[in-house]
Structure 1
Amino acid sequence: MINVFQPALGPDELAAVASVFEDSWPGLGERTTAFEAAFAEHLGVDPRTVLFVNSATAGLFLAVEVLGLGPGDEVVLPSVSFVGAANAVCSAGARAVFCDVDPRTLNPTAEDVERALTDRTRAVMLLHYGGLPGDVERIAAMCEARGVRLVEDAACAVASRVGERACGTFGDVAVWSFDAMKVLSTGDGGMVVVRDPDAADRARRLAYHGLRHQSGMSASRSVSRRWWELDVEAFGRRVVGNDLTAAIGLVQLRRLPQFVARRREIASFYDRALSGVEGLEGPPPVPEGHTSSHYFHWVRLEPGERDRVAADLLERGVYTTFRYAPLHRVPAYGAQGVRLPGAEEAAERTLLLPQHQGLSDGDVKHVAEELVSSVTGRPEAKGGRP
């Protein structure tokens, strides 16, 4: 079976894990700090504002807490988004207000976001769908002008940029995912950037039980004569990362440029092989000046055809899917009766093809040929070599 997502792990990652075993310390330590510093350099931000956590979902919950969102507050987010984003908002007692998306890019425009704003809006939580930066510049400017906080859910956008500026550096808080399906994978894990250094310090404390200082050997020479005593400033949790996963992350970050380059090759091949096929539409081109992480590659089919083609491909050994199901249709979020035609169209027509750096040229050609065959009944696909 050719999978949609798959990490690329090898001997360098294994050697990094072995070195952690040799040091007999898999917990939070020097490698975690080194990974945070390396990721800060990747983004071009102050390393003091970067925090490695155990998942992007934990990072989203942390973002909501750091921004002080709660009952009476509204948070606007695209309906085509991950369930963890809405859960983070609603678990704090705030209200998730879903905005529409462009049915081809699956990202919201500034106008989509603006239509959802009210005088109760405290924040916007923006996803970069499939690694496309989207309308982030205009949305960030609009949020700043209105005094609304911006959270960037950059889970799909680890190498995405607008010009020279990295996705995740436009908002007040940003979150990345390093789970087993992502471009850069640590198995589980995520990164949080909080632009304001004081708020970043608070986020770091909340991520480790709300302690002002961590107890233990690291504090024994810097805190007090009784370093084991506790100073709890807030009721936090333990969502920090560790040296075992950070060691993998350091290797993956060094390999990230080659990962993205391979994904770009695969996306270009799909575009060539599938262009002009009746009943099949590829994703829009990446806009001039934008850089995509190429996390997803999707096609659009007629609504009645999408599910048939997905089932047909599964029988042919090609796994496809759709992410993310529109959240305004989920009863738990209380948005029944809301109509968002762009998100609804995307949910009926979009199909994600296998897209990861572990795909061989033969895999990619097979996916394209089977897709063309399923859609048209013809076995051939164009495009040459990936």
Structure 2
Amino acid sequence: MINVFQPTLGEAELAAVGEVFASGWVGRGPRTKAFIDAFGSHIGVAPEHLVSVTSCTEGLFLAMEALGVGPGDEVVLPAVSFVGAANAIAARGATPVFCDVDPRSLNPAVDDVERRTGPRTRAVLVLHYGGSPGGIAEIAAFCRERGVALVEDAACSVASAVGGTACGTFGDIGVWSFDPMKIVVGGDGGMMHVPDPALRAAITTRVNIGMSQESGMASAAAGGRWWEFDVRAFGRRSFGNDVLAAIAQVQLSRLPEFLARRSEIAKRYDHEFADLDGVLCPPPLPDGHRSSHYLYWLQLAPERRDALAARLFELGIYTTFRYLPLHRMPVYGSVSSLPGAESAADRTLCLPLHQGLDDDEVGAVVDGVRSVLGGV
């Protein structure tokens, strides 16, 4: 099966894990710090503004907790978003308020966010669909003007930027993912960007089971009783470890080659599918925008979309649609009508796009799509 997502892992990643095993320390330690430093350099921020966590989803939960989101609050987020984002809001007793998205880019514009913002809005939580930044700069300016916190779910956007500013650094908190379906893979894990010191301190305490960072080895080095500790908040064990960090750091060093290959495949798809009748490719990026090319999608009439997906599966080509509109899920209690998100969900199909695809596999996807749509 030609997959939509697939990690590219090799001897270098295996050797890095072997070094961690040989060190006798597989928990949070020097490799975690080294990866934090490397990731900070990659996105252009000070490493002390970063917090390593077990997953992007955990980072979103931590973000809602640290911002004090709770019952009576509302958090605006695009309907086409990851379920973990809405769960992070609902778990706090707050209300996820879903906004519409552009049916072509699947990203919200600032007007979409503004229409759903009200007096109870505590925060805005934005996904960059498929790695395209969308209207993040305008949304960030709007949130600053309104005094509303902005959280960026940058799981798809490890190398996305606007005007040289990395996605994930526009708001109060940004969160990235290194799970097995992402571009930089650690096996799992996530990273948070939190520039405000007080907010970052609240998160780091929660990450460490609510304990102060001065306990344990640091206390021993200072001559104190290292077995004593101070619990300052209710928290979980949410920090990353050296095994995940070692893999992810190697992956980060390979990111330029990954991005070059993904861009090459996206350009070939653009060229090969441009002349298909009734089929739309992803819209071009605005000037100054850089995409991570996490997803590539076609849009066509719903019945043709479904027939294409079924036939490609028979040919050994896996496709999907990410993400199902959350306002359609009864658990969140939404009764909103969001035509952009609904149109996108009914017409969009994500094709295989990862750096591990060879030319023959890309050719098989192209031939499969063109042959099927010629008869549908």
Tell me if TM exceeds 0.5: yes
Distance 2:238 2:311 in 1: 41
Structure 2 match to 1:230: 229
- The alignment of Structure 1 onto Structure 2 pairs a total of residues equal to 376
Distance 2:219 2:350 in 1: 48
Matches within 5 A, 1:177-192: 177-192=177-192
Q: Does the 8 Å contact 1:213/1:219 carry over to 2?
A: no
Partner deviation per Cα, 1:313-361 (whole Å, 9 max, x = no partner): 00001000000000001111110x3100000000000000000000001
Distance 1:40 1:212 in 2: 24
Letter in 2 for 1:131: G
SS of residue in 2 equivalent to 1:245 = helix
Stretches of structure 2 lacking an aligned partner (at least 5 in a row): none
Q: Does the 8 Å contact 1:48/1:200 carry over to 2?
A: no
User: CA 1:220 to 1:118, structure 2 compared with 1: closer, same or farther past 3 Å?
Assistant: same
State the shift of 1:133 in Å. 0.2
After TM superposition, the runs of 4+ consecutive aligned structure 1 residues lying more than 4 A away are none
Q: Does the 8 Å contact 1:129/1:156 carry over to 2?
A: yes
State the shift of 1:216 in Å. 3.4
State the shift of 1:214 in Å. 5.8
Q: Does the 8 Å contact 1:48/1:197 carry over to 2?
A: no
Distance 2:219 2:163 in 1: 42
Matches within 5 A, 1:1-386: 1-213=1-213, 215-222=215-222, 225-335=224-334, 337-377=335-375
State the shift of 1:219 in Å. 3.7
When structure 1 is superposed on structure 2, of 41-50 and 12-21 the one drifting more is 41-50
User: CA 1:377 to 1:147, structure 2 compared with 1: closer, same or farther past 3 Å?
Assistant: same
Letter in 1 for 2:22: E
Distance 1:183 1:219 in 2: 38
State the shift of 1:180 in Å. 0.2
Distance 2:10 2:272 in 1: 30
TM-score normalized by structure 1? Answer: 0.96
SS of residue in 1 equivalent to 2:254 = helix
Distance 1:296 1:147 in 2: 32
Letter in 2 for 1:241: G
Distance 2:375 2:258 in 1: 33
Partner deviation per Cα, 1:211-260 (whole Å, 9 max, x = no partner): 112643354113x5211112000000001100001001111111111111
Letter in 1 for 2:309: A
Q: Does the 8 Å contact 1:171/1:195 carry over to 2?
A: no
Distance 2:280 2:47 in 1: 42
Distance 2:63 2:231 in 1: 20
Distance 1:159 1:251 in 2: 16
Q: Does the 8 Å contact 1:106/1:343 carry over to 2?
A: yes
State the shift of 1:13 in Å. 0.4
Letter in 1 for 2:30: E
SS of residue in 1 equivalent to 2:156 = coil
Distance 1:103 1:47 in 2: 37
SS of residue in 1 equivalent to 2:75 = strand
Letter in 2 for 1:275: A
State the shift of 1:198 in Å. 2.4
Partner deviation per Cα, 1:63-87 (whole Å, 9 max, x = no partner): 0011111111100000000000000
State the shift of 1:307 in Å. 1.1
SS of residue in 2 equivalent to 1:125 = strand
Letter in 2 for 1:77: L
Partner deviation per Cα, 1:91-130 (whole Å, 9 max, x = no partner): 0011100000001000000000010000110100000000
Distance 1:214 1:53 in 2: 19
Q: Does the 8 Å contact 2:79/2:98 carry over to 1?
A: yes
Percentage of pairs with the same residue: 58
Distance 1:372 1:214 in 2: 61
Letter in 2 for 1:152: E
Distance 2:365 2:77 in 1: 33
Distance 2:203 2:46 in 1: 15
